Structure 1
Amino acid sequence: MTAPAEPERVPPPRTQPPTPHARLAGPVVIQPLKRRFCAECHTGPLSLLTMEDAAPHCLDCADLGHLVYLPRGDWALTRRAREGSSLSAVVVRFHRRRGRYERQGILVEEAALARAEERCLADADARARRRARDAARRAARDERFTAAFAREILRLFPGCPPDQAAAVAAHASLRGSGRVGRSAAGRALSEAAVTAAVRAGVRHTETPYDALLMSGVRRAEARRRIEGPVEAVLRTWRSPEA
């Protein structure tokens, strides 16, 4: 004798929603874990169903067939679609390991979803324009700061070639780089920070420092070897007659 099919479990009462952060409002629709057929029209297997009198019903028989499914993930779209739909349903699925129903999305009227998508697209366009404006303002600020950094380099090292001062300033002040120009001292154009940036530039462009590192020399030893040439360049650049 074949054992009777295990009935689909129903979600807990609305006072105990399937997840701590979801409130069940309106009908509850289940994504079944097993093959289920409609008790009324016998269609199936069903991908979505409602439970009425402990029996599964398809969405058409439950008068929900005109609704469309919106998966979870976009909070703003979900909220707007639900608010604009005169009828909606929460879609849940049982999680065996956790032993509870968890929210998967909602069913809403197609027209309400279309209106919600239009509003979200308008918001996205507005956000994109705002991001573009903010990026332009940041770029202008960065350009002014880099120019000020280069001027401070030339003030402290008047013998430094202007193109090298500009290159050092651009490298040291790159946003998000974590380099000395983006530190608090660098943003304040302190003499120590500016000198450190120039010294680093000289180390990489005027000495064999990089080649030493590539040949396996440890960083501390490589710096010791090129310390004299670096200081010689800095002394030369400090002189306006260089």
Structure 2
Amino acid sequence: MAGAEPPVVVIQPREPRLHCAECHDGPLPLLLVLEYNAPYCLDCADLGHLSYLPRGNAALTRRAREASSLWAVVLRHNSRRTRYERQGILVEEQALLRAEAACLADADARARRRERDAARRATEDVRFTAALTAEILRLFPSCPQDRAAAVAAHTSLRGSGRVGRSAAGRSLDEGAVTAAVRAAVRHDDTAYDVLLMSGVRRNEARGRVARAIEAVLVAWRRPNPPRRSPGSADRHNV
């Protein structure tokens, strides 16, 4: 079965500068294979007959890979993140055609499944945001309810990478919830963002606003005074 063995790795250079170590063709324009630190063109690496499928369609990629007896993963170096990132795969042309036909055949079913999954995730997100709001108010009972709701909605946004989407945040860990509230106070109740925009380094800016943040958190941690029912003050004075 295709994909059972480790895939061949093909590098997509940002700039065509290298020449093939075997046929000396070059600069290699798009893709090359590195063997023993030497670059080879796809033809010399016996991969020239494969077709390139960019990333982006998970179902098509999976089916094409499974149908192809030979396939390779295409990587490109991200200098900013200092790592190689997947760009797509190389597969046999017939495998790609069969995969495209299979995806077209069940496109409606997959669309309906995506709609159901999206609705389920939306329901889960509403429940989690409500639970996170309640936990914020439990830890910070004097925090205004609209602020608690805003913090919960911001930090629990799916795909945001914020603390609310971390494992600790999803389990309503006290440290994670407090970190989310602290971050909200830092941006909304202090001059932190102004300091950053004026060129102050992040660590220094955090130090400058730390006392102001802690003052807000201390105030919000105080329990709310019990509410008196209407007319209770008058009855007390009678």
Could you say which TM-score interval applies, normalised by the shorter chain? 0.5 to 0.7
> Using a 3 Å threshold, how does the CA distance of structure 1 residues 217 and 103 change in structure 2: closer, same or farther?
closer
Corresponding residue of 1:216? 199
5+ unaligned residues in a row in structure 2: which ranges?
Answer: 1-45, 54-59, 65-90, 226-238
CA RMSD after TM alignment: 3.4
* Aligned residue number for residue 69 of structure 2: none
Aligned to 1:164, the other structure's residue is in SS state helix
Match of 1:227 in 2: 210
Correspondence for 1:182 among 131, 140, 165:
165
- The aligned residue for residue 144 of structure 1 is 127
Alpha-carbon distance in 2 for matches of 1:129, 1:122? 13
Larger Rg: 1
- CA displacement, residues 77-132 of structure 1 (integer Å, 9 cap, x when unaligned): 9xxxxxxxxxxxxxxxxxxxxxxxx97569xxxxxx9xx96x75440010000011
CA shift in 2, pair 1:171/1:72, >3 Å: closer
Letter in 1 for 2:191: P
The answer (yes or no) to whether the contact 1:172–1:181 under 8 Å persists in 2 is yes
- In 2, Cα distance between equivalents of 1:103 and 1:186: 44
Instruction: Give unmatched runs, 5+ long, in structure 1.
Output: 1-18, 23-70, 78-101, 107-112
Identical columns (%): 65
Paired residues, what number?
A: 146
Counterpart for residue 86 of structure 1: none
Partner of residue 6, structure 2: none
- CA distance in structure 1 between the partners assigned to 2:103 and 2:124 by the alignment: 31
Give the SS at the match of 1:229: helix
Work out the CA distance in 2 between the residues paired with 1:196 and 1:225: 18
Q: Deviations over 1:205-224 (max 9, x none)?
A: 00010000000000000000
Helix, strand or coil: the match of 1:158?
A: coil
Amino acid at match of 2:149: A
Aligned partners of 1:72 and 1:105 also within 8 Å: no
CA, structure 1 residues 190+104, in 2 after alignment: closer, same or farther (shift >3 Å)?
A: closer
1:171 equivalenced with 2:149 (yes/no): no
Point out 4+ residue stretches in structure 1 off by more than 2 angstroms.
71-77, 102-106, 119-122
Task: Show CA shifts across 1:29-86 (max 9, x none).
Answer: xxxxxxxxxxxxxxxxxxxxxxxxxxxxxxxxxxxxxxxxxx9977979xxxxxxxxx
Question: What letter is aligned with 2:177?
Answer: V
Aligned AA (2:186): R
Residue 161 of structure 1 is matched in structure 2 by 144
Match of 2:106 in 1: 123
Q: Does residue 241 of structure 1 match 2:207?
A: no
Provide the rounded CA distance (Å) in 2 between the counterparts of 1:188 and 1:105.
47
Deviation at 1:133, TM superposition (A): 0.4
Q: How far apart are the structure 2 equivalents of 1:167 and 1:161?
A: 10
Provide closer, same or farther for how the CA distance between residues 126 and 232 of structure 1 changes in structure 2, counting only shifts above 3 A. Answer: same
Corresponding letter in the other structure for 2:166: S
CA distance in 1 between counterparts of 2:52 and 2:176 reads: 49
